[in-house]
Homo-oligomer: A and B are copies of this chain.
Amino acid sequence: MTSSRKKIIGVIGAADAVPEDLNIAQTIGEEIASNGYTLLCGGMGGVMEAASKGAKSKAGTCIGILPGSSKTDCNPYIDYAVVTAMGHARNVIVVGSCDAIIAIGGSFGTLSEIAFALRLEIPIIGLNTWDVSSDIKKANTAKEAVHMAIELIDANN
């Protein structure tokens, strides 16, 4: 029987991000939705909110894997709020649920997610982010990043 499962592209990055990264994140969210993929993120502000806003502007779907214990403590663009109440341990769930991941900028929380993606061998594309492995594919633009993510997902299926 055919599976109903939708392919998911994750966007990871800081809650406290510079304007340039927010612009990139929003365009990435738009491209993910325009290409028919589901966006998954940590559900909070900054890069997560910008990407979610972009996806919703193109009628996309956003899943937020929340660190806290409240369903409503997330950005307003999240369709499906998954309440982990597990703090940073939710980073493992963010990463493990994605078919491909795009990392934008980011601090130590993002680094932990990149490390898990590399450990779990989930395709990861980076923009202005941690350069800790050649397994992080570098993209120069938002469109290119989403294009690379889709190619990597297709190559795995």
Complexed CA–CA distance, A54 and B72 (Å): 28
Query: Which listed residue (B38, B83, B96, B130) contacts A132, Cβ 8 A?
Result: B130
Interface size classification for chain A: 35 or more
Query: Which listed residue (B65, B86, B108) contacts A115, Cβ 8 A?
Result: B108
Known contacts A109-B119, A132-B130; A83/B74 CB under 8 A: no
Identical chains bound together, number: 4
Complexed CA–CA distance, A49 and B132 (Å): 26
Known contacts A85-B89, A88-B85; A5/B111 CB under 8 A: no
* Chain B, residue nearest A38 (CB): B80
- Are B82 and A85 within 8 A (Cβ)? no
A-B contact pairs, 16 of them (CB 8 A): A3-B72, A5-B74, A6-B80, A38-B80, A63-B82, A71-B99, A83-B96, A85-B87, A86-B87, A93-B93, A108-B115, A108-B118, A111-B115, A111-B118, A111-B132, A112-B119
